Structure 1
Amino acid sequence: MPSNFTADPSTLRQLILQPGQGFYVPAYQRDFTWGKDEISRLFEDLEQGITRAAQGKTPSTFLGSVILVSDRDSVMPKHVDALPTTVLQVVDGQQRLSTLLTVFVVLSRSVSDDMRWLQQQIDAGSKNPLDIWLLNTLGERRDELLDAIAFKTYSGAGEFNMKPRLIRQVSDVWGNDATHAIYESDMAWLLMEAARYRIQNQQHAAIPVPSDRLHLDLVLRVIAGHIDDLRIGADEVDCDVLTELQFLSDIGMAKALIGSNSAPVVDPDALDDHRKSAARLLVLASFLLNGVLVIDVKAPDEDYAFALFEPLNTTGQPLTALETLKPLVVRSEGGITNYSTSPSAAAFGRVESYFPPSMRADDRWKLSADMLTAFALADTGRKLPRTLLDQRRYLRLQFQSVAPPNGSVEGARAFADQLADVSAFLFEVWPRNGTSPLMSSGTDLDRLCLEVLRSTNHTVVLALLARYYSEWAACPSSASRSEFMSVLRAVTAFWVLWRTSRATTRGIDDVHRKLMVTGHPATGLPAMARRAGASATLPAATEVRAALKSLLSTRGNISAEADWVVKVTVQPLYQTSKQLAKFILLCAHDDRIEDYSAPGLVRRGVPGSFRALTSEAWDSHYSVEHIAPQNLAQGDTSYDQAIYDQGLTDRLGNLTLMPVDLNELIGNKTWPYKRCIYAVLSETDPNARLTHMQQQLPGLAPKTKNVLQSASYLPFCEFLDKQAVSPLPHSYVAQRGQRLAELAVERLWPMLA
């Protein structure tokens, strides 16, 4: 081995933040092509890594190897006096490097934006130690991110003393002035633009992307979306450290993640959104620089680098955990001859059928990770990380514990059967186009409940549902189907009642995981995971409902229907979850009729009056819209100002369902105009519609008339026009929210009873 060959683990700080060092992508490398899927996987890895780092585990996130050759001579064309001191030719790893540098650009902008706000607070007299600590520490990280994007040299005129960290051969040239510096590739252009914005002290501003750089624009938007989700602690973020900000009250965790902690320690729940955003960005920036590891492989020359590169990539994408499990399953049956006709082969064949060879490698990895996460929770109650290393280790150790020689052939076969059942549930029942006969034999409400869980990505319930699906798959009877549907409705009601009554999802995943591991001793429910001490047969669905109802009371502080009504009517439901808001509005309008004693309100009619809890109603082109507009038109006094002063705009009482195109027709129009539109669209007789338009809406443009005349009946907006008072009173919005909540809970509560 050559003496100057090295292969060392390096953080991104160690790899990139070297003075006078630039990366050079040779012409034979393909263009920067990573897109949404690869970037999403990168952020999933970052979320998992932050969780591991908070627990003191290392390495936190490992991104494979980067093969580099130190070679200034190969740069062509070049201006010697403008070259970085060290030029590293990128033989392997340019997609990762390019993506990470782009993340640095977007993240530095978000950090700068939060720093501006913090500085404003301090300039206004804030003495909050947290503000000062956040501002100073964010400033350090922001400067490091910007130094990673471009480095300063002692040669160069004006802005051209800054050099982008990465350029491509042919399209880019490091130069010291506008004549010689050429940065035409997407990456070099972006990095240099970011350097210019830094020089102009505009780090907080978004860089406008030219229309001919479509791929770069896509990448920036995807990255910005992920960073925005992390900033606000969105439901999609699978990282309790960021969503709950535990490190602000845990000194050890803060030092592990950031290297320092605020003084004094603060309660995360007491912070406003700006400070929470700043704290989350601080963790993300610190982790990117110090917690993401690569193997930095430096070869003495390009030939030797390629000798390394080829064997590392002959197998393409790494084998999934399922693929590495199969040899153990074959061995458990005594070898390939016995395996081919064994029950294990039948079960594992079912699993493999969901991952055909034609499937894209990234899809294969993501779907197998989704399946194994649900499987681990259903099998042992364990929360399985999405990292390939953890998944492989878990499957291997768990299978070896039940298979010969430590266990039995029967144990191995049961393991494979459970794996197959969870796979079947995930691929045949869970998707919108599921092929399992189970859901087709259910009721409208059953299918709607599954859609609510699916559309809100409430995947923590997959394990529990898969357990009852296994019972049905083993014996597809009406009794086993009824048990599954009962549990399905119960977990849906629990999720909806819990989530819509509070600002975050905090705690609900823990509830489900504990049900799998320990059950619920207070109601006598045993552990629900297959190998976590569960009983030989699954408990009846009534026991699951009783446990969830008890947990809703003890942990969710909702002991009765009235408790939820009080909570949901003060929640900004539109911001909490539009999908759950839609479901609540469907529940509230099921069998609704007009309440003649309270104009503008509805009450419950006889069964069959109006069917709202159906997949058809959910799939119709309805979206959750505002009655009093979010953005009031200037000078519009037709809405009570108290609606806005009291924060009622996003609450249940101000929401309705209607098609987006029709909502655009009325948008932020005045209340009298909206009332007339609601009245027209509530008419089922076309002649009555026309008469109403002629009498109440004279002067309508022909196009608007045609739209109203041909539009579908609007059942969810019917009776709103009965509220004739103008300006629209805030008391009506509050009263309507109370009524809708009471009607909705009438449908939700029995699912747990």
Structure 2
Amino acid sequence: MCPSRLNYCTKVVEHIGLEGYFDSQSKKYMEQIEDYLKLDPKRRDTSTSQLITTFSLSENGRTLSKRLRVQRIYLRDEYKKTNTKEDLVKNLAIASKFYNIWNLSNKNPDEIIINELKNDKVALTCLQVLAKKHIISIALLSRFYSKSLLEDSDAIDFRDVIKAVTAFFVLWGSARTGTAGIDNCYRELMSKGIKNPRINVEQEQNKIPPFCRQKNVDDINLEVLKKAFRYFLFEGATDKAKIYSKETWLSKIKNINIYTESKEVCKLMPISAFDGVVPSGQGIGLVEEARSGVSETLNKGFDYSFFQSIEHISPQRNNWSGVTDERKHALGNLTLLPISTNSSVGNQELKEKM
């Protein structure tokens, strides 16, 4: 069966011919796309629309409308004008395969179909965070995923790309209220590249080319991606909040009520902070480095039972001495607890919570 909303299979069959189509590689690619779309029949139209908009941004840097007619015309025209028609269908199939990975990371991580993520549970935790709140990153991630499948792309470690995207998402989202144009950073990187990617005025100015496949087949790598992310953190935000060092990031995050801005970012930060540390004997709330293999939290998964809920130490409803209403949602007043424990702790006295 051909993907109904794509209305794409007819063009492929017309080009190859009916007899040749049934034994063609293109038919196998179309079946891969169909396999993804039928996983959730109730969301088929939505899944198809998301897949095409992601593919468009990843393939040629185009931000595509979600309207059915626009998407059909886009696919028809792209297939008609390309000289490598089978590669175009293949790239769409790879995008659908990555969407499958993206969705399974939250629904059933044990069914993830690439061993690299099964063997790196920190990367899987990061992908789970992105899948909850950062859908704009799919085009970039699917582009790297596609390249990681090539035989000559040993330098691309897809797990490290996931971690870099997550780090960018957390650094950006934790230091400001609202999104401040983060989606535009991805669109700019995919479609136009960056004209002056610099962290400060002393550094040499260099252009980073677009990351979409049609404009940049080979020259994408993790180091260039990190350079682009550093540039965006420094001067890519619409709120002009420049983050170019740990100190500038700390100066901004200390004034942000992170709990009210982004639950996903808020939750991942203590998960990261607790990783590899144990309580210190120097005082309550202090930690020290743990022995290797002790207190590993980043590899437990984003929805691990101990991390199910975010708890306010000083309760939201009655202000305790030393914690003002303005700071009750700040990171220092938050911890992670299982839901059952959170319910029993509630608004108990401080000594009980401690």
Same fold by TM-score, threshold 0.5 exceeded? yes
- Does the aligned pair in 2 maintain the 1:574–1:581 contact within 8 Å? yes
Which of 645, 670, 681 is the matching residue for 2:349?
670
Equivalent residue, structure 2, for 1:475: 151
Cα deviation, residue 567, structure 1:
1.6
Equivalent residue, structure 2, for 1:553: 234
Cα deviation, residue 671, structure 1:
1.6
- Does the aligned pair in 2 maintain the 1:591–1:609 contact within 8 Å? yes
Work out the percentage of aligned pairs sharing the same amino acid. 28
Equivalent residue, structure 1, for 2:35: 353
Equivalent residue, structure 2, for 1:449: 126
- Does the aligned pair in 2 maintain the 1:569–1:651 contact within 8 Å? yes
Q: Distance in 2 between matches of 1:607 and 1:526?
A: 41
Which of 276, 279, 283 is the matching residue for 1:594?
279
Q: Does 1:466 align with 2:139?
A: no
Equivalent residue, structure 2, for 1:428: 101
Cα deviation, residue 563, structure 1:
1.6
Local SS of the residue matching 1:470:
helix
Cα deviation, residue 455, structure 1:
2.1
- Does the aligned pair in 1 maintain the 2:58–2:212 contact within 8 Å? yes
Which of 323, 330, 339 is the matching residue for 1:643?
323
Matching residue's letter, 1:669: Q
Cα deviation, residue 607, structure 1:
4.3
Which of 494, 502, 511 is the matching residue for 2:185?
511
Equivalent residue, structure 2, for 1:487: 161
Local SS of the residue matching 2:37:
coil
Cα deviation, residue 572, structure 1:
1.1
Q: Distance in 2 between matches of 1:513 and 1:617?
A: 27
Q: After TM superposition, list the pairs within 5 Å mapping 1:17-416 onto structure 2.
A: 320-322=4-6, 324-333=7-16, 335-356=17-38, 360=41, 362-402=42-82, 408=83, 411-416=84-89
Matching residue's letter, 2:35: S
Cα deviation, residue 528, structure 1:
0.7
> Is the alpha carbon distance of 1:325 and 1:554 closer, same or farther for their aligned partners in structure 2, counting shifts above 3 Å?
same
Q: Deviations over 1:561-596 (max 9, x none)?
A: 122122222211111122211110011111223344
Q: Distance in 2 between matches of 1:367 and 1:587?
A: 32
Q: Distance in 2 between matches of 1:453 and 1:395?
A: 27
> Is the alpha carbon distance of 1:476 and 1:425 closer, same or farther for their aligned partners in structure 2, counting shifts above 3 Å?
farther
- Does the aligned pair in 2 maintain the 1:378–1:530 contact within 8 Å? yes
Q: Distance in 2 between matches of 1:401 and 1:550?
A: 35
Equivalent residue, structure 1, for 2:201: none
Cα deviation, residue 643, structure 1:
1.7
Matching residue's letter, 2:76: R
- Does the aligned pair in 2 maintain the 1:483–1:540 contact within 8 Å? no
- Does the aligned pair in 2 maintain the 1:429–1:436 contact within 8 Å? no
- Does the aligned pair in 2 maintain the 1:519–1:526 contact within 8 Å? yes
Equivalent residue, structure 2, for 1:653: 332
User: Based on CA coordinates, which of the two structures has the bigger radius of gyration?
Assistant: 1
Matching residue's letter, 2:139: A
Q: Distance in 2 between matches of 1:608 and 1:552?
A: 33
Equivalent residue, structure 2, for 1:529: 212
TM-score, with normalisation over the residues of structure 1? 0.42
Cα deviation, residue 621, structure 1:
4.1
> Is the alpha carbon distance of 1:654 and 1:552 closer, same or farther for their aligned partners in structure 2, counting shifts above 3 Å?
same
Q: Deviations over 1:72-98 (max 9, x none)?
A: xxxxxxxxxxxxxxxxxxxxxxxxxxx
- Does the aligned pair in 2 maintain the 1:590–1:611 contact within 8 Å? yes
Local SS of the residue matching 1:643:
coil
1 or 2, which has the higher strand percentage?
1
Q: Does 1:584 align with 2:275?
A: no
- Does the aligned pair in 1 maintain the 2:345–2:353 contact within 8 Å? yes
Q: Deviations over 1:656-696 (max 9, x none)?
A: 01112112112112223333xxxxxxxxxxxxxxxxxxxxx
- Does the aligned pair in 1 maintain the 2:277–2:287 contact within 8 Å? yes
Cα deviation, residue 609, structure 1:
4.0
- Does the aligned pair in 1 maintain the 2:268–2:302 contact within 8 Å? no
> Is the alpha carbon distance of 1:423 and 1:364 closer, same or farther for their aligned partners in structure 2, counting shifts above 3 Å?
same
Local SS of the residue matching 2:327:
coil
Cα deviation, residue 616, structure 1:
4.4
Q: Distance in 2 between matches of 1:648 and 1:604?
A: 28
Q: Deviations over 1:248-290 (max 9, x none)?
A: xxxxxxxxxxxxxxxxxxxxxxxxxxxxxxxxxxxxxxxxxxx
Q: Distance in 1 between matches of 2:353 and 2:124?
A: 34
Q: Distance in 2 between matches of 1:667 and 1:657?
A: 13
Local SS of the residue matching 2:337:
strand
- Does the aligned pair in 1 maintain the 2:194–2:228 contact within 8 Å? yes
Local SS of the residue matching 1:474:
coil
Equivalent residue, structure 2, for 1:631: 317
Q: Distance in 2 between matches of 1:502 and 1:595?
A: 31
The structure with higher relative contact order (CA 8 Å, sep 6+) is: 2
Q: Which runs of no fewer than 5 residues in structure 1 stay unpaired?
A: 1-318, 403-407, 676-753
Local SS of the residue matching 1:526:
coil
Q: Which runs of no fewer than 5 residues in structure 2 stay unpaired?
A: 198-205
Aligned length: 334
Matching residue's letter, 1:651: A
Cα deviation, residue 330, structure 1:
1.2
- Does the aligned pair in 1 maintain the 2:306–2:336 contact within 8 Å? no
Cα deviation, residue 606, structure 1:
5.1
- Does the aligned pair in 1 maintain the 2:129–2:302 contact within 8 Å? no
Matching residue's letter, 1:445: V
Matching residue's letter, 1:512: Y
Q: Distance in 2 between matches of 1:490 and 1:661?
A: 33
> Is the alpha carbon distance of 1:674 and 1:350 closer, same or farther for their aligned partners in structure 2, counting shifts above 3 Å?
closer
Cα deviation, residue 470, structure 1:
1.2
Equivalent residue, structure 2, for 1:418: 91
Q: Deviations over 1:600-619 (max 9, x none)?
A: 32244454442111134742
Matching residue's letter, 1:475: E
Cα deviation, residue 554, structure 1:
1.9
Local SS of the residue matching 1:600:
coil
TM-score, with normalisation over the residues of structure 2? 0.87
Equivalent residue, structure 1, for 2:203: none
Local SS of the residue matching 2:185:
helix
Q: Deviations over 1:146-166 (max 9, x none)?
A: xxxxxxxxxxxxxxxxxxxxx
Q: Distance in 2 between matches of 1:326 and 1:508?
A: 35
